[in-house]
Structure 1
Amino acid sequence: MILLLIRQIVLGLSLAAPIGPINIEIIRRGIHQGFWPSLLVGAGGMTTDLALMFLMYRGLSEYLTVNGVQLTLLVFGSLVLTYTGIQSFFHPSEPIVEEADYRGEGNRAELLRPYLTGVSIAAFNPLNLLFWLGIYGSVLSDSLQDENRLRAFFINSAIFIGIGMWNVNLAFTVHFSKSLLKPGVLKLISLAAGLFLIGLGVYFACKAAVKVSGFF
């Protein structure tokens, strides 16, 4: 049991490490808003991923092959990622912060925004859904042989310990390393991150257009 849990944690670390929309947004938020907004983007993504994994157990994978569902995900994914990326270009002079004070009630409410951003990026990113579908089919499905499905689900949820460890590590790295870089370099990194998200959004828009043309 312990070895299985360790395997799932290591798997979570390896799954979270590749650069993707969530990691890019964690970096961008960490540069401009500080540690907690950066971390909450990752927490929002983890919330969606956990819900997706549960829904995979409940048979969501059958619906992901429906053309209408795929088209909807492509359209919403394009909109969410493009909007998130464009924010970097509309606010290029956004101040670089050391760490904001979130003790006030109004400031604490502001923390909801990065969390919801993480939720939406993970929920409407078609690559994320296909990613979890592949993980479910190749790695997680072996636990379905366990007679206790609920226990199997919780064991596999240990993946999120590894994902959470990576998110904390990335948020801390951005938080401490930005003090070593010049503001111009940090703004360039932020703009590059925005460009990456816009490019991914345009890619999904093109995929959606191709799929729509296939209906005629």
Structure 2
Amino acid sequence: MSLYFAYVMVGLAIAMPVGAITVEMTKQGLKNGFIHGWAVGLGGMTIDITLIILLSTGLASILALPIIQIPMWLIGAVFLLYLGYDSIKNADKDITLSGERVTKSFFSSYKNGLLVAISPGNLVFWVNVFGVVLAKNYANDESHFFIVALGILSGILLHDIGLLSIISITRKALNRNMIKWLTIVSGTLLIGFAGYFIYEFIQNVKLFL
């Protein structure tokens, strides 16, 4: 159990820094409430679980190849540009104030989480950084691998629930115009992440060539 709780803390630490997933979760949580923000988080965790399965079967080494990672930076940038542009363009749409009925579909928010999570920033971290931790535990004891993986996923889940609980309380004090401008800020941040991905794509192309 001590191993599990230790990696719950690691999962929390992983989820704490503000990234594209956190920005999208916050945006959906503000516009449509807890469930839609959590749908984004579940989309992200779907990719995380898929990567854990890949790591356990040894297929992650393919994702670590530069020829695979380089186009992923560009693809991730395109996804984030799309989400950022869509956030700004539709900032005043699909806003549901506290107490109102939500019209946006759960799957639409979940899909956004998937799109953000397959960005290379997330994939590179899991494969190149966290993959070492998982691979070591898998080599030592297969049961340890799954305890570590479960601990980290639990930590990420705790972060998501905590963040969205705060957002759910905060949005009760916000009006439609305030949520609109916060959505525009979120869209701008997503475009900023896209710019960073394009920079990484150019740098990796230079190194590869």
Superposition TM-score, scaled by structure 2 size: 0.87
Determine helix, strand or coil for the equivalent of 1:19: coil
Aligned to 2:32: 33
Aligned to 1:199: 192
Q: Residue 96 of structure 1: CA displacement? A: 4.1
CA contact (8 A) 1:88 1:194 kept: yes
Q: Residue 56 of structure 1: CA displacement? A: 1.9
1:90-132 deviation digits (Å, cap 9, x = unpaired): 1122234225547xxxx69x21111121112111x11111211
> For 1:143 and 1:132, how far apart are their aligned partners in 2?
15
CA contact (8 A) 1:43 1:118 kept: yes
Per the alignment, do residues 12 and 214 of structure 1 end up closer, same or farther by CA in structure 2, a change over 3 Å counting?
Answer: closer
Aligned to 1:152: 144
CA contact (8 A) 1:41 1:119 kept: yes
> For 2:200 and 2:3, how far apart are their aligned partners in 1?
38
> Does 2:63 align with 1:58?
no
Paired residue total: 206
Which ranges of structure 2 fall in alignment gaps of 5 or more residues? Answer: none
> For 2:162 and 2:47, how far apart are their aligned partners in 1?
20
Per the alignment, do residues 73 and 99 of structure 1 end up closer, same or farther by CA in structure 2, a change over 3 Å counting?
Answer: farther
> For 2:140 and 2:106, how far apart are their aligned partners in 1?
39
1:35-58 deviation digits (Å, cap 9, x = unpaired): 111111001101101111221232
CA contact (8 A) 1:33 1:99 kept: no
Determine helix, strand or coil for the equivalent of 1:158: helix
List aligned pairs for 1:1-216, cutoff 5 A.
2-94=1-93, 95-98=95-98, 101=101, 110-123=105-118, 125-133=119-127, 134-137=129-132, 139-147=133-141, 149=142, 151-156=143-148, 157-212=150-205
| Percent identity of equivalent pairs | 27
Which ranges of structure 1 fall in alignment gaps of 5 or more residues? Answer: none
> For 1:145 and 1:69, how far apart are their aligned partners in 2?
25
> For 1:32 and 1:26, how far apart are their aligned partners in 2?
10
CA contact (8 A) 2:32 2:97 kept: yes
- One-letter code of the match for 1:180? A
Which stretch of the first structure deviates more once superposed, 36-45 or 68-77? 68-77
> For 2:20 and 2:140, how far apart are their aligned partners in 1?
34
> For 1:214 and 1:196, how far apart are their aligned partners in 2?
27
Per the alignment, do residues 141 and 65 of structure 1 end up closer, same or farther by CA in structure 2, a change over 3 Å counting?
Answer: closer
CA contact (8 A) 2:87 2:183 kept: yes
> For 1:93 and 1:115, how far apart are their aligned partners in 2?
20
Superposition TM-score, scaled by structure 1 size: 0.85
